[in-house]
Structure 1
């Protein structure tokens, strides 16, 4: 088996169907398997997979294990030389799967690979980034990354890059992460302390620490629709993202830096809540009211974003 494609699903029946259809319509020119790990969905996702994609190996978890743990279940059940972590809200285009495998076969220094990712409207999605250091987060929260023409300010999300050349990067998006099986065997699986968000950043950092490289290469494209499983989370999504970011610093930068990151993100969300509350008081509209309630919800529950134990409890 050359390739194992692992897709985690949680209540994304329609998106999952489109994703699987695109995989089989653009199948790689090598033996491959598709493993869908369902995190106790409440929709008809599993029925759809059994009915429309009988060749898929379906694993049905009895509870929502989170993204990292569910991927580890899929990796444990896989047999491919390469493992592709693919989001259920993606569409695979053309020969990207075959081209990705060819690139890895011909690039021994690459332990993991990400391809070119597009938004639904066809625009470029910034799917590579640096580690979310305190400096990078400060630049982003202050809005300095929106200043065009200043490469230093656009460093975190690499907005300055048009993704036209292959290169080593710090982190690639988990929506399409192709890795060698031996890379997982060398550095371990995804850290299950990360329930949702942050697990690919942690894994890529660990991979680079083992003297392997994380690569981006424009060898094909996928479309990442975004927000598939997280649309129903509302303000909890921001809390989970904050928790993952703070957890990254607790693990790799220490308690002191993690505290400063936590306070930085708290200050940002507080400023957003004040801004939207003021805007709504001046000119009440559905959008301003919705944004105000969102950030107020984040601030009211922000203390929960400090990681206390494995996974999350928000």
Structure 2
């Protein structure tokens, strides 16, 4: 019996990008249901959905809940075996959903899957995420060629170990999410998919990279890159996870402290503000209310050393 598929698309304004995303989803080669969650957006998305995409299930939020909250409302409405989260700034190739969800039928312990996403210029945008021993997450193969990602990004490849999917497109077994919980709404933006990947792996669920499931991620079209707001939110997520997972109480505390100090100092020098530092402080305070997290997490790449982790941060859009 084939697995059923629900696709959750959180949106906040920017109709032209949302329309392109939905048109690409409409052209998919496998049956699915699309759930659009309008996060109290400022434009006429709801009206345009009603007239142009009547087949789409629409959830209209009365107040803005942020990425995690919007996704969770969509996940709560999902009833399919597999739920695929798709950012509205992603154009999926026609067979992305079919290929991305196929491995779930062969492995009952497969909890998540990631596609190969490209930038508009043809370089790789993301092939899932990895994490070092301080639980700092990085996008895999950002800026690489497709050939390199496919060659090195699979199981046993030379690339960094896959922890879980990148948030722009992420497929999850709904039963796995019911077991470990949905996105932590205490994280305002950046880090939600890392936290969920950590919890899924700690819960015994495996993950896979699917090289022939592909799409284009416009990247930053809805939130901007490098702004003070983006760096503050990224810092918030990092501070939250440091507290939630007790990283500063573990064996890698010194490395984590030194790394965060370097990152914050670099942000001050390059950007001439304290957005990253203030975000980390706020996130650290909020992380005290997070639920308990396991520190025994398969999939963490212990081969990512201190220097390499700093180098990875230089090119990582999430700071």
TM-score (norm 1): 0.77
Residue 228 of structure 2: aligned partner: 235
Pairing 1:173–2:166 present: yes
**1:309–1:271: structure 2 CA closer, same or farther, 3 Å change rule?**
closer
Equivalent of 1:308 in 261, 264, 285: 285
**1:306–1:68: structure 2 CA closer, same or farther, 3 Å change rule?**
closer
| 1:269 Cα deviation after fit | 3.9
SS of alignment partner, residue 189 of structure 1:
coil
Runs of 5+ consecutive residues of structure 1 not aligned to the other structure: 138-155, 277-291
| 1:309 Cα deviation after fit | 3.1
Equivalent of 2:12 in 7, 10, 13: 10
In 1, distance between residues paired with 2:48 and 2:128? 32
Residue 34 of structure 2: aligned partner: 34
Where in structure 2 are the equivalents of 1:166-245 lying within 5 Å? Answer: 166-167=154-155, 169-231=162-224, 234-245=227-238
CA-to-partner distance for each residue in 1:20-77, whole Å, 9 max, x for gaps? 010002x2423x2111111111122222222211111111111111111111111111
Residue 248 of structure 1: aligned partner: 241
SS of alignment partner, residue 171 of structure 1:
coil
In 2, distance between residues paired with 1:87 and 1:113? 15
| 1:247 Cα deviation after fit | 1.2
Q: Contact 2:231 / 2:276 at 8 angstroms: preserved in 1? A: no
Q: Contact 1:131 / 1:171 at 8 angstroms: preserved in 2? A: no
Q: Contact 2:120 / 2:217 at 8 angstroms: preserved in 1? A: yes
| 1:133 Cα deviation after fit | 4.0
SS of alignment partner, residue 191 of structure 1:
coil
**1:271–1:206: structure 2 CA closer, same or farther, 3 Å change rule?**
closer
Q: Contact 2:247 / 2:256 at 8 angstroms: preserved in 1? A: no
| 1:157 Cα deviation after fit | 4.3
In 2, distance between residues paired with 1:232 and 1:162? 24
**1:28–1:94: structure 2 CA closer, same or farther, 3 Å change rule?**
closer
| 1:123 Cα deviation after fit | 0.8
In 2, distance between residues paired with 1:299 and 1:129? 21
In 2, distance between residues paired with 1:50 and 1:43? 14
Pairing 1:271–2:266 present: yes
Residue 90 of structure 1: aligned partner: 90
SS of alignment partner, residue 201 of structure 1:
helix
SS of alignment partner, residue 130 of structure 1:
strand
Larger CA Rg, structure 1 vs 2: 1
Q: Greater share of helix residues, 1 or 2?
A: 1
Aligned residues: CA RMSD: 2.8
Where in structure 2 are the equivalents of 1:120-199 lying within 5 Å? Answer: 120-134=120-134, 156-159=138-141, 162-164=149-151, 166-167=154-155, 169-199=162-192
SS of alignment partner, residue 75 of structure 1:
helix
Q: Contact 1:112 / 1:215 at 8 angstroms: preserved in 2? A: yes
**1:249–1:304: structure 2 CA closer, same or farther, 3 Å change rule?**
closer
**1:242–1:28: structure 2 CA closer, same or farther, 3 Å change rule?**
same
| 1:128 Cα deviation after fit | 2.2
In 2, distance between residues paired with 1:188 and 1:303? 24
CA-to-partner distance for each residue in 1:86-129, whole Å, 9 max, x for gaps? 11110000211111222221233421000111011111123323
| 1:189 Cα deviation after fit | 1.4
Runs of 5+ consecutive residues of structure 2 not aligned to the other structure: 156-160, 290-319
Q: Contact 1:246 / 1:262 at 8 angstroms: preserved in 2? A: no
SS of alignment partner, residue 80 of structure 2:
coil
**1:262–1:57: structure 2 CA closer, same or farther, 3 Å change rule?**
farther
